[in-house]
Structure 1
């Protein structure tokens, strides 16, 4: 019998700790081994209990969750799930945590909602990824300053006449860090790029803004009717509508409130299928780290339509779910390490 995933709950609110504990206690695959009201208490309990997963509040007195997360990733890499309020400051801080190396984020429950329903499954996935976090030792968030095109080194990625005319990217757990690394190397004149990253609705606008400060290309949260332009990256808004590529006089974005597909809305499958249907020119499809199988079928449709298709390899994926399925069903032509992904996209 597989041992249960052990969890340490870190939150300054006794009520919130109780809520998390009550959600987890009914799952036989999870054991809550401890609780802590602040990072200093949590540090001692991590040493004593060696939990598989830590749930961590973002806003706490004395030392906030971001500072504590940096210490965890530098000194004792452990899967951490951030538990955040859906406020603008909370969203920004949570995204910084994901870039540092947090496994995923989940919103604190609001009035009439229970956002913790997915927490047990997320914790069990995080526990399986514990060994992968050793390689993250010493990592810190990337500086949020735009890279000036004129300052690029000669070896950096450039567009070519034979490269893609359109790029689609899908990602989930671990994708915030992966996308940050991939897009930081995108040229300022990149082809129009459409991205679906599974995130709560309140986080996608902040994530787009952070990417825009980091990347040479312009990054924005997609809006219904946006006409695709070179040098622009469009991030699907979270929570409610699929992002679909349409083509009239010019390709444009349509946001559609259809049912979830592959368990998600927006869905990578929906985006990729629309690219396969409405864009017959040269395009590339990419699936990065993430749980589940969203995007695999859509990527297969892109490949059948003549697009170049890539998947992140297992060694560099925080969660080798979406890329694995894409490769196994023949949707991805090749598996590529994250460090070489941007060069492969533009090769």
Structure 2
């Protein structure tokens, strides 16, 4: 068996040793080097060319974000951030994902003192996923600045749009950037959107606020009991499943702290199954990049209930696991690249609107 070769960067000797023990305990991976900060690591990384890098954020001489940006511009490779919570918290970690980190693991200072054995499954599973991830080079700096973003084409709103239509989105590894790219092209009066992204509780509010700043639509962490409105997106909070329900003639959100499904709470399957039950053919399903199979069974239930479903294609996914599983069981009508997803989904909304008018 070819082992995944991992390089560890963390300023704590304790953490470096614990990560080394955890990784080396797995039959399919090994630590090939470790360093206390990025400057000490640079030549070692060039010499060893690891498959995956684990990276702390708060380190002496050069912080993890600065190093990550340089790395992803010059020599991109899969990176998993493993760091304690800081005063800047979730905004820093969202920035890491924006710069190209595949995933993150949040650990508290209390957990460090008590050892990291409880993180073994999370650490090793995320390293496995990262080893298969597609990483992209950041745009080179010009005069100290990144290239300005290209203007996005306007997405024309459908005629005779109905508030009854819904867009239901699920994602995991790589999903923060994929969801951002999908949402920012949507018109302000698009159908209401429900989103489940695998994230811990400390992240979802900041993620929703970031999406709200970048998008024409309003984006918020779901509170439960809200009426779902056009031009609004509701993100599952990290502590609860998000479900679609009906209250009379209106669609509303519901939160549940039931047991995790497919190891996750929030779970994409929980959201998709609720959409199948309450929205049927009024729903459009979208499954984006992610590790594992969460969402596949729920998306099949949506299709069987009359929904029309899209999956992100392999070439544009960071990790193709969730879309691949949904495609494999026949849950998907169209497989679409991420840059095309917004346009194709809105074309489908327009087609649904036209059909409802003829009826």
TM over 0.5: yes
Whether the aligned pair in 1 keeps the contact of 2:245 and 2:251 (CA below 8 Å) is: yes
Out of 121, 124, 140, which is 1:120 matched to?
A: 124
Residue by residue, what CA displacement relative to the aligned partner does 1:167-187 show, whole Å, maximum 9, x if unpaired?
100000011111111111111
Alignment of 1:171-320 (within 5 A): 171-239=171-239, 241-249=240-248, 250-280=250-280, 282-320=282-320
Q: 1 CA distance for matches of 2:89 and 2:120?
A: 17
Structure 1's 163 and 13: CA in aligned 2 closer, same or farther, altered over 3 A?
farther
- TM-score normalised by the chain length of structure 1: 0.90
Whether the aligned pair in 1 keeps the contact of 2:102 and 2:174 (CA below 8 Å) is: yes
1:303 is displaced (CA, Å) by 1.1
Q: 2 CA distance for matches of 1:213 and 1:39?
A: 32
Q: 2 CA distance for matches of 1:194 and 1:298?
A: 14
SS of 1:229's partner is coil
Residue by residue, what CA displacement relative to the aligned partner does 1:280-338 show, whole Å, maximum 9, x if unpaired?
45221000000111111111111112111000001111111000011111101011000
In the alignment, does 2:83 pair up with 1:84? yes
Q: Which runs of 5+ in 2 are unaligned?
A: 348-359
Q: 2 CA distance for matches of 1:159 and 1:12?
A: 51
Correspondence for 1:55 = 54
Whether the aligned pair in 2 keeps the contact of 1:84 and 1:90 (CA below 8 Å) is: no
SS of 1:346's partner is helix
Q: 2 CA distance for matches of 1:189 and 1:87?
A: 37
Q: 2 CA distance for matches of 1:335 and 1:136?
A: 24
Aligned residue pair count:
333
1:139 is displaced (CA, Å) by 7.3
1:116 is displaced (CA, Å) by 4.1
1:111 is displaced (CA, Å) by 2.9
RMSD over aligned CA atoms reads 2.2
Structure 1's 224 and 67: CA in aligned 2 closer, same or farther, altered over 3 A?
same
1:163 is displaced (CA, Å) by 6.2
Correspondence for 2:8 = 9
- TM-score normalised by the chain length of structure 2: 0.87
Q: 2 CA distance for matches of 1:181 and 1:314?
A: 16
Q: 2 CA distance for matches of 1:87 and 1:162?
A: 48
Greater radius of gyration (CA): 2
Alignment of 1:1-40 (within 5 A): 2-40=1-39
Q: Which runs of 5+ in 1 are unaligned?
A: none
Whether the aligned pair in 2 keeps the contact of 1:84 and 1:91 (CA below 8 Å) is: no
Whether the aligned pair in 2 keeps the contact of 1:312 and 1:323 (CA below 8 Å) is: yes
Q: 2 CA distance for matches of 1:212 and 1:124?
A: 32
SS of 2:110's partner is coil
Structure 1's 24 and 39: CA in aligned 2 closer, same or farther, altered over 3 A?
same
Structure 1's 292 and 12: CA in aligned 2 closer, same or farther, altered over 3 A?
same
Structure 1's 162 and 171: CA in aligned 2 closer, same or farther, altered over 3 A?
farther
Out of 154, 157, 168, which is 2:155 matched to?
A: 157
Q: 1 CA distance for matches of 2:64 and 2:120?
A: 19
SS of 2:65's partner is helix
SS of 2:59's partner is coil
